[in-house]
Amino acid sequence: MQSDVIIRQTAIGSYKVNTYLLACAQTKKTVLIDPGGEAERIVKMVRDEGMEPVYILNTHGHADHVLANKQLQAVFSVPVCMHEADDIFFAAADIREKSEKELGLPAPAPADIRLQDGQVLEVGKLRIKVIHTPGHTPGSVCFLAAGNLFTGDTLFVGDVGRTDLTGGSLDTLINSLKEKVIVLPAETIIWPGHDYGETPTSTVGREIKENLYITDFILAD
Ligand SMILES: [Zn+2]
Ligand SMILES: [Zn+2]
């Protein structure tokens, strides 16, 4: 139930990545999604809310989404989770070098837990489902919890993530949206990885109507 969830959205760091606290309202157990920097600010948010972190979740391995992983792990002693495809991809020396040049930031450290498509994480009474949505990177995922979809750089409000960076593919991204995202209930709330749209959040139903990547590349076929 939506009322059983607490969600806090905040833009972090020079890339303005949306970092999320997603918590079970009853137990205050929480996950930190894409902690993109400013670790002390995130720690303060967690403590002010009286939350208890249990996982750090990365929607993908791009540096701007993972920068505070290690600092937060040192404070909260929780595992860092990333899809297996990105954990493998960003471990390769040549990929790390390319990605660091592209983003101007260090490539991610290895994850503690490699996530798989369809896996469900239990966080208090909350169930968080991992949905593999490759395209922006090979191991990009969306996280689905109680009607809320955290889309990282796969889907923005009215837009999609870049596919010109190392490991990106527009065809793959479009296919992910088609098979994994637009099939979700229309009222599913979209929480994107950056606030690039007209509003900070959207819904699957609204994106199906307004997002040109969906209307032109998927529905027009
Ligand atoms: Zn990215
Ligand atoms: Zn990003």
Instruction: Render pLDDT for 52-72 as a digit per residue (tens, 0 to 9).
Output: 999 999 999 999 999 999 999
- Reported as type and span, the H/E element at residue 64 is helix 63-66
Fill in the amino acid letter for 106: P
d(CA 45, CA 16): 17
- Reported as type and span, the H/E element at residue 61 is none
Question: Would you call 101 exposed, middle or buried from its count of C-beta atoms within 10 A (0-12, 13-18, 19+)?
Answer: exposed
The string of pLDDT tens digits covering residues 131-178 is: 999 999 999 999 999 999 999 999 999 999 999 999 999 999 999 999
Domain boundaries, the chain: 2-219
Least trusted range by pLDDT, from 24-28, 104-108, 129-133, 180-184: 104-108
Question: Alpha-carbon dihedral of residues 66, 148, 209, 163, nearest 10 degrees?
Answer: 20
Ligand 1 center to 26 CA (angstroms): 32
Nearest ligand to the CA atom of 156: 2
Which position has the token pair 């009607």?
A: 147
Dihedral pair phi/psi, residue 26, rounded to 5°: -75, -45
Nearest ligand to the CA atom of 108: 1
Ligand 2 center to 63 CA (angstroms): 8
Domain boundaries 2-219, corresponding CATH code: 3.60.15.10
Number of residues that this document lists for the chain: 221
Label residue 3 by pLDDT band (50, 70, 90): low
The string of pLDDT tens digits covering residues 75-128 is: 999 999 999 999 999 999 999 999 999 999 999 999 999 999 999 999 999 999
d(CA 154, CA 156): 7
Ligand 1 center to 137 CA (angstroms): 7
Ligand 2 center to 11 CA (angstroms): 11
Ligand 1 center to 161 CA (angstroms): 7
